[in-house]
Homo-oligomer: A and B are copies of this chain.
Amino acid sequence: MIKIAICAPGKRLEREHADAVQDRFAGRDDVELVFHRQCFERHGHFAGDDATRLAALLECANDDSVDAVWFAAGGYGSNRIAADALAGMGDAARGKTWLGYSDTGYLLAALYRTRTGVPVHGPMVADIGRPNGEHAIDRAVGFLCGDTAGVEAEIDDRATAAFNLTTLAMLCGTDLMPDLSGHVVLIEEVSEHLYAIDRLLFHVSHHLRGIAGLRLGRISDIPENDRPFGQSEEEIVRYWCAREDIPYLGFADIGHDAANKIVPFGLAAAASRA
């Protein structure tokens, strides 16, 4: 029996999304989903204030009976508690798998930096609300139960990491940022203008000098601007990769959608054995 604990380091989870995911695995005797009550708290923008979100994350992290911590949703806010969370984690945290993306990338980064268990970039509980969201949920729970079919297809034997582009930009140079030299780095983004994508890549490409290469996930829901930018998202990535001598390695099958594939941080083979 795989026990999966769910908490919300940023945005709160809708009850109906929790219920839908709980119902989907109710008949299974190989997996148990435990939703921390904090998932449904409210405090302004967040699922409870910083202390509440931190305490819930640490309860999940330090529970010996829990195999994996699954982040409920992104939004914003995991960066505010990440440093304290890592400081409060004990031995029980080091054996765990951690699954999320988008804003929870701050936690994945800090966990990877400190080699605390296996951080994994992939679907969250709230993705059940997307069109075909059940595919994302099945892929996520399947991976946590040992099924690697949902792992991104082009991941090879090089160390890998995946991030939302804005999250990665805000991580660069901070105490949460892992050393990604030699890594293949996958990026994705949602709801940003192309000029903002260009600006983020200016910043990120400076900081990523020395990585093995960059792969471009989906850049979705790009708002229309008052004038066309003049370059596609792939042209933008190729431009900044060329400027900073970073190999551009093509597209990646990740994004803010139900097709978002699984990307274990580090060596995928080691993650699957974990």
- Report which A residues bind B (CB closer than 8 A): 43-46, 75-77, 79-80, 166, 169-175, 194-195, 198-200, 202-203, 206-207, 225, 227-231
- Decide if B229 touches A203 in the complex (CB within 8 Å): no
B contact residues around A206 at 8 Å (CB): 173-175
| Additional pairs, 7, CB under 8 Å, beyond known A44-B229, A170-B203, A172-B173 | A45-B195, A45-B229, A77-B195, A166-B199, A169-B170, A172-B172, A173-B206
Enumerate 23 A-B pairs (CB-CB under 8 Å) in ascending A order: A43-B230, A44-B227, A44-B229, A44-B230, A45-B195, A45-B227, A45-B228, A45-B230, A76-B199, A77-B195, A79-B199, A79-B202, A80-B202, A166-B199, A169-B169, A169-B203, A170-B199, A170-B200, A172-B172, A172-B173, A173-B203, A173-B207, A174-B203
Residues of B within 8 A of A166 (CB): 199
CA distance A199 to B103 in the complex (A): 10
Instruction: Find the B residue at minimum CB distance from A196.
Output: B76
A174 to B208 CA separation, bound complex (whole angstroms): 11
**How far is it, in angstroms, between the C-alpha of A46 and the C-alpha of B230 when the chains are bound?**
9
Residues of B within 8 A of A231 (CB): 44
Chain B residues with CB under 8 Å of A200's CB are 170
Number of copies: 2
> What's the nearest-Cβ distance from chain B to residue A13, in Å?
14
A190 to chain B: closest CB distance in Å?
A: 14
Residue of A43, A44, A171, A207 most packed against chain B (CB within 10 A): A44
**A206–B80 Cα gap in the complex (Å)?**
12
CB of B170 within 8 A of CB of A173, answer no
Q: With the chains together, A206 CA to B189 CA distance in Å?
A: 23
* B residues near A225, Cβ cutoff 8 Å: 45
Contacts of A171 in B (CB 8 A): 203
Complex Cα spacing A127 to B199, Å: 23
CA distance A115 to B38 in the complex (A): 52
Name the distance in Å between A187's Cβ and chain B's nearest Cβ.
16
User: Closest Cβ of chain B: how far from A170's Cβ, in Å?
Assistant: 4
A198 contacts which chain B residues (CB < 8 A)? 76, 80
Q: Smallest CB-CB separation from A240: which chain B residue?
A: B80
Q: Which residue on chain B has the smallest CB distance to residue A76? A: B195
Question: Whole-angstrom distance between the alpha carbons of A252 and B56 in the complex?
Answer: 39
- Measured between alpha carbons, how far is A207 from B174 in the docked complex, in Å? 7
How far apart sit A134 and B158, CA to CA, in the bound complex (Å)?
A: 58
Minimum distance in angstroms from A257 CB to a CB of chain B: 20
Question: What are the residues of chain B within 8 A of A195 when measuring CB–CB?
Answer: 45, 75-77
A49 CB to nearest chain B CB (Å): 8
